[in-house]
Amino acid sequence: MPRWRIPLRAPVGLAAAGLLLAGCANPSTGSAADDPTKPVTLKFWHGWSAPGEVKAINDSIARFEKLHPNIKVKATGNVPDATTNQALRAGGGEAPDVVSSFTTNNVGQYCDSGMWVDLDPFMKKTGLDKSKVFPKSLLDYTSYRGNQCALPLLADAFGMYYNKDAFKEAGIERPPRTMSEFIADSKKLTVKDGSSYKRVGFMPDFRLYQNSPDRLFAQWGPKYFDAKGNSRLAEEPSSYEFFKTARKLRDAQGGYKALERFRTSFGDEMSNQNAFLSGKLAMHLDGEWRGLMLNDAKAKFDWGVAPLPVPDDQAETYGRGYLTGTVAGIAHSSKHQNAAWELVKFLTADTDQVVRFANAIHNVPSTFAALKSPKLDADPTFRTFLGIAQNKHSQVMPPSTNGGMYIAQLQDFSYGEEAGDVHDLRGGLRRLDKLIDADTLQSQN
């Protein structure tokens, strides 16, 4: 459940490290001339740290070593992107051979900088047809301008958790499917308590938990960049519909100031005081891992999962959602790239391995075969997310050489917009476009 540890906003240090990575003109060069049948020890750096996650990784490595007795894998966990990036810039014998990252937003930097090698030659050499193995949406967030420098290593899908007891109390028969139903149901489900609330239907505030604006915005299927890589949020019609809908959601439930005061009373996202778990929210945007947490905490109400609503004029896309995930690749400095490819291929493309790993950490499988495997967790709430992951309209964030900075900039803009500080939306979006373009240009120099 790696996304638990990802903040909505990229830390400044990580962003700076990413920019340094993108600007590295001479990455340390390794070798793809090694013999993968010869004895070798690979260094694999990953970000998992929870005991169950680490066990799942170690079990995966044990299965790999059984299939490849000549290859030993030394795994190091709880490694942040910034540490990996510094090691890859330095190169040398201490750098990892195989790397993974929870931050798909940085793939553009990994590919463009040359720090992660292009995997297409390895796939061609070993007969792996990526278009037949991986869903297109997942390939989109593991490549940049034709460079497939990473492959998906499980995915995350975002949907809507809802309190069935609250729905029954409000006389609502099913989860909302369109934005107009979403607004109406949110109002019905909101219960006031004096000047505050006992419960809110849906908290639209962008600072809440996983409510980064790009996740709800994905329901419109926006196009962030034009063919030249320039930001086009001011030209995107759905930008205006998205912010208009978010404003309607707030107004229907008492307005931004009242909702924001209520939000500050919520407990930590990963604690038993989570606002949805404690009954303060009737509907909640979250990822597939939340279901396991609700079960572990023995939620005191009946709950269900559904895709997030879609715009009324895109009703046929219902079932879509926001996708992200973990990615894996090979360090450009590795002198054992063919052996490293054997590990990457096993972790990302071996059906049995992908299914067992997905079941172990309750993430969405990232291959066509694994998504359809009868061995996959049969929990119906989890399978809702499998449907979202396979929906052709689901959206991933487009890669950029400035990593996730453009998302952080959208977040900052959205905080001001929801607070009423943006008086000219079109003008504000134009300024946002210019800011994103300036940072993208800087990351390329």
Q: Which pair of tokens denotes residue 62?
A: 């044990």
pLDDT of residue 29: 77
pLDDT of residue 27: 54
Pick the CATH number of 2-156+323-390 from 3.90.1300.10, 3.20.20.540, 3.40.190.10, 1.10.540.10: 3.40.190.10
Please give the C-alpha separations between residue 101 and each of 266, 301, 318, in angstroms, as whole numbers. Answer: 30, 35, 30
SS (H, E, C) 184-238: HHHHHHCEEECCEEEEEEECCCCCCCCCCHHHHHHHHCCCCECCCCCECCCCCHH
Residue with tokens 């009703």: 315
| CA gap 124, 128 in Å, rounded | 6
**Are residues 154 and 364 in contact, defined by beta-carbon separation less than 8 angstroms?**
yes
pLDDT band at 16 (very low <50, low <70, confident <90, very high): very low
| CA gap 243, 212 in Å, rounded | 13
Q: Which CATH class is domain 158-322?
A: alpha beta
Q: Are strands 196-202 and 40-45 parallel, antiparallel or unpaired?
A: unpaired
pLDDT of residue 6: 44
Residue 147 has pLDDT above 50, yes or no: yes
Q: Which pair of tokens denotes residue 415?
A: 């905080």
Q: Which pair of tokens denotes residue 225?
A: 């960049």
| CA gap 48, 154 in Å, rounded | 13
| CA gap 245, 240 in Å, rounded | 9
pLDDT digits (tens, 9 = 90+) for 42-93: 999 999 998 989 999 999 999 999 999 999 999 999 999 889 988 988 877 8
Higher-confidence residue of 217 and 32: namely: 217
Residue 260 has pLDDT above 70, yes or no: yes
Which of these, 157, 200, 234, lies nearest to 394 by C-alpha position? 157
| CA gap 382, 230 in Å, rounded | 37
| CA gap 397, 407 in Å, rounded | 9
Q: Where in the chain is the domain with CATH 3.40.190.10?
A: 2-156+323-390, 158-322
Residue 157 has pLDDT above 50, yes or no: yes
E strand residue ranges, 89-145: 98-101
| CA gap 56, 62 in Å, rounded | 10
Report CA torsion sign: 71, 72, 78, 83.
negative
- Average pLDDT of every residue of the chain: 91
**Are residues 127 and 255 in contact, defined by beta-carbon separation less than 8 angstroms?**
no
pLDDT of residue 104: 86
pLDDT of residue 19: 41
Residue with tokens 């499917």: 177
Beta bridge partners of 157: 323
Report CA torsion sign: 381, 384, 385, 386.
positive
Is 300 exposed, middle or buried (CB count within 10 Å of its CB: 0-12, 13-18, 19+)? exposed
Residue 1 has pLDDT above 70, yes or no: no
pLDDT digits (tens, 9 = 90+) for 307-340: 999 999 999 999 999 999 999 999 999 999 999 9
Residue 144 has pLDDT above 70, yes or no: yes
CA-angle at 158, arms to 153 and 159, nearest 5° = 145
